[in-house]
Amino acid sequence: MTTGKVIGGMSVTISANTKRLQKGLKDAQKLIGRFSSQIKRIAATMGKFTVALAGIGSAVVVSSLKRSISEIDRLAKTASKLGVTAESLSQLQFAAGQTGVQFETMRRLTEYGTQYRGLQERSRGS
């Protein structure tokens, strides 16, 4: 590259060898192109990963809802069997959990107590 300029009646010529600069710029451009391709691949993979996570999240929510509905149904059936409201049985279940008693153990004991009370009442003729 050569540039000529007249400065106060004097002619000055400046020349530079830009081959190394041009090669460096081309190399940098290639690196940027490769980097851009890698970023695009990562973005595509992340998109697939996000879709997969959303699917898993949906499955977890559905499974949780099914368990909750099943638990509510079991509670209502047990409450009906014991002759109490589902709300009071739920409160009893919470209290049992706070004291470390398994709900199933508490339910069986309550059921036996209810049966025993019924037997007592029948034997008295009530």
Is the model's pTM score more than 0.95? no
Distances (CA, A) of 80 to 44, 74, 84, 85: 54, 10, 6, 7
Residue 49 or residue 35, greater confidence: 35
- Over residues 75-123, the pLDDT tens digits come to 888 788 777 788 887 888 788 888 887 877 877 777 777 777 777 777 7
The residues spanned by each domain of the chain are 17-124
Res 80: pLDDT: 82
User: Is 15 a residue whose pLDDT tops 80?
Assistant: no
Give phi and psi for 16, each to the nearest 5.
-145, 145
CA 108 to mean position of chain CA atoms: 37
Angle between helical axes of 86-99 and 103-124 (0-180°, round to 10)? 120
User: Is 57 a residue whose pLDDT tops 80?
Assistant: no
User: Is 5 a residue whose pLDDT tops 70?
Assistant: no
What count of other Cβ atoms lies within 10 Å of the Cβ of residue 110? Answer: 17
Q: How many residues does the chain have?
A: 126
Q: Are 78 and 107 in contact (CB under 8 A)?
A: yes
Counts of helices then strands in the chain (DSSP H, E)? 3, 2
Res 7: pLDDT: 63
C-alpha R_g of the chain: 40
Given the structure tokens 């589902």, which residue do they identify? 86
Cβ-defined contacts of 13-20 (< 8 Å, 24+): none
Q: How confident is the model at residue 2 (pLDDT cuts 50, 70, 90)?
A: low
Res 3: pLDDT: 60
Give phi and psi for 10, each to the nearest 5.
-105, 140
- Over residues 23-45, the pLDDT tens digits come to 888 888 888 888 888 888 887 77
